[in-house]
Structure 1
């Protein structure tokens, strides 16, 4: 019988199991690590907005790369995770972030998990503005509700703290308009 029937999907409990395992591996190797999580991982773990995510969008602090790579391969094997379960492609969009406000999500003995504040995550979701099946739109709507953002001015003020407004093109502008409409506001 398969101990991990949902290969490819990481729900909150599986993510916590993985982080526990990573911490244990780090401890056995006398290694400390900071891991900053983004995207679907946050929406699954913090906001309970998704039942699961397919990967962990993250950035690692500087570490012994060879040892860390070995630990990640062991984790992939133990949890029967698909290739790409760790996704550090978030590094590219992070280059557009002008301010990063991180807070501790969870601390273990050898692993510290950080996450951006909800305001930064909202700015990143608007900047990405990917079409479905990406969950940027539903995530942004939830974040607007959570942050009590009810006007276009408030949304743009939040965004410009983290992302230069000059980066908002037609895709992002339409995303904002539809977001306001979906939330019941006129953000034309």
Structure 2
């Protein structure tokens, strides 16, 4: 297997191919699964902001863990995916989310894929506020434009719906200021 830092990038077509495969495997094993995707997967598949992502940030519904792990290992082999292609580390930041606001993205016979609404995703990007090479800044820029956010007050209102303002520290404040500047607004 390839090391994690050598993971192949997953473009929209490859992600859809993997989801088709997972659905077929679930169907063959009489298992239904709900998968909620976050981060780069959404930006690649929904907003077409990135040509690809390195992993699928996701959370699975309760299911037969042993069988699901077997199906995921098969997908890893079939698509030559590195360890870490499924990233459930998103569970930790989700603990800070006040509410989940999910909507259906794609429904197969045995696999349902959900995603957070754009507002929740934006709040999560602001909370993360990771420096480059993370893509949080570019993603937040796209989401603000897509949502028509032009003022700091609008942005803070969106954030407050999903993240306690007490979690906004210096890193997030600077991120918001630079975001406003790049969008052409004074969010000082």
Normalising by the smaller structure, the TM-score range is: over 0.9
Task: Find the counterpart in structure 1 of residue 8 from structure 2.
Answer: 8
Q: Give matches, 1:74-93, under 5 Å.
A: 74-93=74-93
Cα separation, 1, equivalents of 2:68 and 2:97: 26
Task: Find the counterpart in structure 2 of residue 181 from structure 1.
Answer: 181
TM-score (norm 1): 0.96
Given that 1:56 and 1:87 are in contact with CA atoms closer than 8 Å, whether structure 2 keeps it comes out as yes
Cα separation, 1, equivalents of 2:29 and 2:169: 46
TM-score (norm 2): 0.96
Given that 2:43 and 2:139 are in contact with CA atoms closer than 8 Å, whether structure 1 keeps it comes out as yes
Structure 1: give runs of 5+ residues left out of the alignment.
Answer: 1-5
Task: Find the counterpart in structure 2 of residue 34 from structure 1.
Answer: 34
Task: Find the counterpart in structure 1 of residue 151 from structure 2.
Answer: 151
Given that 2:7 and 2:85 are in contact with CA atoms closer than 8 Å, whether structure 1 keeps it comes out as no
Task: Find the counterpart in structure 2 of residue 134 from structure 1.
Answer: 134
Task: Find the counterpart in structure 2 of residue 20 from structure 1.
Answer: 20
Cα separation, 1, equivalents of 2:7 and 2:20: 18
Are residues 1:106 and 2:106 paired? yes
Task: Find the counterpart in structure 1 of residue 56 from structure 2.
Answer: 56
Structure 2: give runs of 5+ residues left out of the alignment.
Answer: 1-5
Moved over 2 A (4+): none
Given that 2:43 and 2:50 are in contact with CA atoms closer than 8 Å, whether structure 1 keeps it comes out as yes
Structure 1 residue 75 displacement after superposition: 0.2
Cα separation, 2, equivalents of 1:100 and 1:165: 16
Cα separation, 1, equivalents of 2:80 and 2:59: 22
Structure 1 residue 140 displacement after superposition: 0.1
Cα separation, 2, equivalents of 1:153 and 1:76: 44
SS for the counterpart of 1:80 is coil
Task: Find the counterpart in structure 2 of residue 46 from structure 1.
Answer: 46
Structure 1 residue 7 displacement after superposition: 5.6
